[in-house]
Structure 1
Amino acid sequence: MENYEERLIAAKKAIENADSILIGAGAGLSAAAGLTYSGKRFTDNFSDFIEKYGIEDMYSSTFYPFQTQEELWAHWARHIDVNRYSQTATKLYMDLLRLVQKKEYFVITTNVESQFEKDGFPKDKIFEVQGNYAYLQCAKGCHNKLYYNEDLIKAMLAQTKDCKIPSYLV
């Protein structure tokens, strides 16, 4: 079997010789870029939720059975902010863009934190299969409109006390 360096050289040549490139990306790419859902990044941002609910990581926290909508949305506001609004560009995603930017390419991703867009990939070249943390939709499913949520998320964050938001923000 080829060694790692030989495989990288072969991959680079394949990209250089390709007419077009389809990038498929999931959570592993963001984790490799440092956007982990556990460890220091998690404990630094969710210490109050860890202490109060015993939550162990950001992924499993999304399934936690919060008792109230006020608790649930305090958590989701933090989760969305940490992963969508507070996170800046990453070297890994920018390196990937530099690798493909002179080619015809398209991105299909299950990532929901908009990292491709933050790192310079044009929106029209990205399909986010599982959606995007920046948008909310009707809970009843009565229409297809999406709602940009940054102002609401910031208001929820500013008014979170004891891992809850005020009821009027739900």
Structure 2
Amino acid sequence: MQTEILAAARLIHQADALLITAGAGMGVDSGLPDFRGSSGFWQAYPALGRAGIPFQSIANPAAFHDHPRLAWGFYGHRLDLYRRTRPHRGFALLQAWAARLPGGAFVVTSNVDGQFQKAGCDANEILEIHGSIHQLQCAAPCCARLWPAAPLEPRIDPEHCHWLGELPSCPHCGGLARPNILMFGDGDWVAQRQEAQRRNWDSWLAAARRPLIIECGAGIDVPSIRHLGESLPWPLLRINPREPALPAGKVGQGLALGALAALEQLDQALELLYRED
């Protein structure tokens, strides 16, 4: 593994910018669940497990129409969890590496938790491909406007995964509100915030010269992040404890480690390389 760490550190050392891509595994070391498979999801939400409700059914706009208190029980719990979670040290290490490079860094993540912003990353250099739980929209939707979830104070019955009290409502029509998250089978998602992020992403891509893609904790169940890194013509450093392999012909390195462990070991190797400069 030490040889692989050193090879990966050299990739960082040779880059002029970082494209940081991240899936749910990036947050595991901060204490967040990754919902790997139904058993992992139901362990995190036993009330949904007892009812036999899989992740795809609750992370679905239909759940807000059919079972709004259950849907908001699930998302309200997640909102509260993400607010209380402190990003692990790996986020700061990535920012420190990027600060040494002329092209800095851009983040593309499938996570909706806002942890990169909370860790201090520039909001103008983040693309959240599935949206954010910290923004709300009308469930209908009656319009394309969004508003912050900050005023919400979730009260959840954990035994039944139910939202307690008045359900969040749309300030424009009075109907039910929902998180601005791209869900399964979602034709109601308001994409205007992500479209603005994509314009920033397009500008960064156009200026990129020798970036390295550092992919952290992106799984194969919803492989959007993995496909992105594999499709771009730059070296890929894939950090994943279970599926670290790169496709045939892809230049880069795979590390079979969790995000924090890998980033800490890479930081130590990088310091040795910087001293040799």
Residue ranges of structure 2 left out of the alignment (5+ in a row): 169-175, 177-277
Instruction: Look up the match of 1:81.
Output: 80
Q: 2:89 aligns with which of 64, 88, 91?
A: 91
Greater share of residues in helix: 1
Moved more, 6-15 or 63-72: 63-72
Say yes or no: does 1:133 pair with 2:130.
Answer: no
User: TM (normalized to structure 2)?
Assistant: 0.48
- In 2, Cα distance between the equivalents of 1:160 and 1:27? 22
Name the CA distance, whole Å, in 1 between partners of 2:51 and 2:30: 23
- What displacement does 1:10 show? 1.6
Counterpart CA distance in 1 for 2:127 and 2:56 is: 25
Q: Matches of residues 16-27 of structure 1 in structure 2 within 5 Å?
A: 16-27=13-24
User: After the TM superposition, which residues 124-163 of structure 1 pair with which residues of structure 2 at under 5 Å, given as runs?
Assistant: 124-152=124-152, 154=153, 156-157=154-155, 163=162
* Distance (Å, rounded) in 2 between the aligned partners of 1:99 and 1:23: 11
In structure 1, the partner of 2:264 is: none
- Larger strand percent: 2
How many positions carry a matched residue from both structures?
160
* Deviation at residue 52 of structure 1 after TM alignment: 7.5
Task: Name the % identity.
Answer: 23
For the aligned residue pairs, the C-alpha RMSD in angstroms reads 3.4
**How far is 1:53 from its partner?**
5.7
Inter-partner Cα distance in structure 2 for 1:98 and 1:29:
17
TM-score by length of 1: 0.73
SS in 1 for 2:113: coil
Who is 1:68 aligned against? Answer: 67
Q: Distance in 1 between matches of 2:140 and 2:115?
A: 28
Distance 1:34 1:161, change over 3 A: closer
- Which among 46, 49, 69 is matched to residue 50 of structure 1? 46
Equivalent position of 1:5 in the other structure? 2
8 A Cα contact 1:37 1:58, kept in partner: no
Gaps of 5+ in 1: none
